[in-house]
Structure 1
């Protein structure tokens, strides 16, 4: 059995990689443009991009001497479907919980 979700969740676990995905959500970008707003080296950005590519979250294409990165719009579909399986639980209603437990300070 293949576990396609583990690489996706491992890639999403890092805040730098999530920031990169957010940038690529707007438009395709050259690697140097991805690196520009980040406070890490170009080599570190390339490693993060490699993790995202291996997880299938992005695609990279070399055009001349420039490597372009593109978000794969279907890449998170499996992870999203898995997480939606947990959507059966209602949000916690704190007001109802307080009423159920009773107000320990009546009249306040």
Structure 2
């Protein structure tokens, strides 16, 4: 779920681009409605991921935000948070467990 965060935004953007294309030519009105609904669902899923990440305690929130939402590497995230690589990997594993618990509530 976390790995798909950026992909959700990209897919929604693609749908909005298709809507713009079809509206230029006054074509496929019903298809545009379907695309708009899909885009809204994708953005809602992305916002749901954000809400779950925001509900977590520190430093789990920061680790997940930097790694999966901003897309930093493990090395860069460790550098930003002033942790060693190994400690960040442990912290990330715990953060993912906490995220899963929060999602399953």
Instruction: Mark yes or no: TM-score above 0.5.
Output: no
- Give 1 or 2: higher helix fraction: 2
Q: TM-score range with shorter-chain normalisation?
A: 0.3 to 0.5
User: In proportion to residue count, which structure has more strand?
Assistant: 1
For the pair shown, the structure with the greater C-alpha radius of gyration is 1
